[in-house]
Amino acid sequence: MNIETSVNGLVVESRSGMRVELSGALAGLIGGVMMAIIGAALAIAIGDDLWKAPKLISTFVVNPDAATAPGFLAGPVVIGSLIHLALSALFGIGFGVLTTRIWKMPLSYGAPMVFGFVYGLTIWLIAYFIILPLLNPLVLEIYAPAFLIQNLTYGLSTGLAYGFLRSSSRFDRREERSERHRAVKA
């Protein structure tokens, strides 16, 4: 239910319009956490440093030498994890806007998961072949197939979470009740 009202000639969206971004951000955070879990499992499986990915991500803002030190380093790991989660939320908002506002994709038949898979693949392709070589080539030290699997996990998890969050009828019922309550008072 997306209600628009005109205030001084400006179009203002109701709270349901805000839910697209909030649902996208939350879904993106869920996808980012799932991506980190899969990344950690893959790092262990291939005998890599468990903390390598967050340390490499942190080199956007800290000394690159921190990424080469073995083991857990609190500063770079925390900074890298925060950067990762912030980007996950931003990409989640992008996912929500693309699927709901631009393409008006249905939430049924697994459409968010399918689009999430494609979205994760697209993020990997653009990041791995264009953005990271230009901005921070150190991050390319992450094993490419593992990085691809992580991005596909991000996309699938984000799509699943977004579909769940957006189709939750509890939020819609609460909004409908508040709209009826405002109409009765007016």
Nearest to 165 by CA among 93, 65, 103, 81: 93
The predicted-structure confidence for 149-162, as pLDDT tens digits, reads as follows 999 999 999 999 99
The predicted-structure confidence for 98-138, as pLDDT tens digits, reads as follows 999 998 988 888 899 999 999 999 999 999 999 999 998 98
Residue 65: the pLDDT is 85
Residue 76: the pLDDT is 94
Residue 2: the pLDDT is 46
Burial 121-154 (b: 16+ CB within 10 A, else e): eebbeebbeeebeeeeebbeebeeebbbbbbbbb
Torsion of CA 38, 40, 41, 42, to 10 degrees: 80
Residue 67: the pLDDT is 81
Count of CB atoms situated within 10 Å of the CB of 52: 21
Q: Evaluate whether 149 touches 34 at the Cβ level (below 8 Å).
A: no
Where the chain has pLDDT below 70, the residues are 1-18, 169-183, 186
Tell me the pTM. 0.80
Residue 66: the pLDDT is 79
